[in-house]
């Protein structure tokens, strides 16, 4: 089996009202993976995150911004960002939150795992060495319950299915075709991993230390939660051909 090393890395960071966080996270990503392109995908945040992203992009050619007209949920924002990264020649695509919960220091280990043959890396709080810091008990329970639920219904052998800190080989991301996902909210993370496994991806979980956001507001809502509960069952019941298999 031959595995090509990834050289062009794009880090896609969706934002909605993350003005306080964006100026902190971008330099940390730059320091962790100096060659990478950072693509901020902003859904016209009322707090001016998009304008700040433009300023960062003006000052640094490694930073780019995709402005979207309206907030349509995380899945649409990521699908658009992934499309731009793939069209831009990305060989590896990282997805991560802007709120500081995902530590960019983990990025080199993600890229190494892709170089070593993984098609998809899942940053995981629930494998040995992984943890969640400062997380309120209720959030912990929702996360653990959501993972057990998704594992049981979809028979997915991974510990952290709900996380949003991942790295993809471009071929894998193309095969799962994010533009056609039926999820809108955070369950999209589960849907893409589910599709990746069905496409034959080699998936690795790597430990991360997840830190509760200190600034700004969570965008998690009851609607997003219930969509996740319904959508997992829908994925399980869906008939027909799976996604395209990965060309290697």
Ligand X SMILES: Nc1nc2c(ncn2[C@@H]2O[C@H](COP(=O)(O)OP(=O)(O)OP(=O)(O)O)[C@@H](O)[C@H]2O)c(=O)[nH]1
Give contact residues for ligand X (rule: CB under 6 A): 14-16, 18, 41-43, 71, 73-74, 77, 97-99, 101, 186, 213, 218-220
Q: Which is nearer to ligand X, 58 or 133 (CB)?
A: 133
192 binds, among ligand X, Mg ion, none (CB under 5 to 8 A by kind): none
> CB 66 → ligand X: shortest distance, Å?
9
Instruction: Out of 15, 21, 49, 101, name the contact with Mg ion by CB under 5 A.
Output: 101
Q: Which is nearer to Mg ion, 101 or 143 (CB)?
A: 101
Q: For residue 211, what are the contacts with CB-CB under 8 A and spacing of at least 6?
A: 100, 101, 103, 132, 133, 134
Q: What is the distance between the alpha carbons of residues 242 and 179, in angstroms, rounded to a whole number? A: 15
**Residue 91 binds Mg ion (CB under 5 A):** no
Return the residue nearest Mg ion (CB atom).
Answer: 99
Q: Which is nearer to ligand X, 73 or 123 (CB)?
A: 73
> CB 217 → Mg ion: shortest distance, Å?
10
**Residue 143 binds Mg ion (CB under 5 A):** no
Alpha carbon separation from 93 to 11, 69, 79, 135, 138 (Å, rounded)? 6, 23, 12, 27, 31
Q: Residue for token digits 């990305």?
A: 90
Closest CA to 192 of 206, 172, 210, 208: 172
Q: Which is nearer to ligand X, 77 or 93 (CB)?
A: 77
């Amino acid at each position: 089996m031959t595995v090509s090393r990834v050289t062009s890395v794009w880090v896609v960071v969706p934002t909605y009202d993350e003005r306080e966080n964006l100026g902190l996270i971008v330099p940390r990503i730059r320091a962790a993976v100096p060659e990478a392109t950072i693509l901020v995908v902003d859904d016209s945040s009322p707090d001016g995150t998009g304008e700040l992203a433009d300023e960062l992009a003006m000052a640094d050619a490694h930073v780019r911004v995709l402005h979207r007209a309206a907030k349509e949920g995380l899945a649409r924002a990521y699908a658009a960002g992934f499309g731009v990264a793939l069209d831009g020649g990305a060989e590896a695509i990282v997805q991560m939150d802007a709120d500081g919960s995902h530590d960019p220091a983990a990025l080199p280990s993600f890229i190494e795992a892709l170089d070593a043959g993984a098609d998809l890396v899942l940053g995981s709080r629930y494998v040995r060495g992984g943890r969640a810091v400062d997380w309120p008990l209720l959030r912990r329970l929702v996360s653990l319950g959501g993972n057990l639920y998704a594992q049981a219904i979809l028979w997915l052998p991974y510990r952290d299915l709900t996380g949003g800190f991942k790295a993809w080989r471009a071929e894998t991301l193309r095969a799962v075709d994010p533009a056609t996902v039926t999820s809108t909210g955070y369950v999209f993370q589960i849907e893409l991993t589910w599709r990746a496994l069905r496409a034959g991806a080699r998936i690795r979980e790597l430990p991360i230390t997840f830190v509760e956001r200190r600034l700004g507001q969570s965008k998690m809502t009851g609607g997003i939660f219930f969509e996740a509960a319904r959508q997992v069952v829908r994925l399980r019941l869906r008939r027909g051909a799976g996604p395209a298999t990965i060309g290697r």
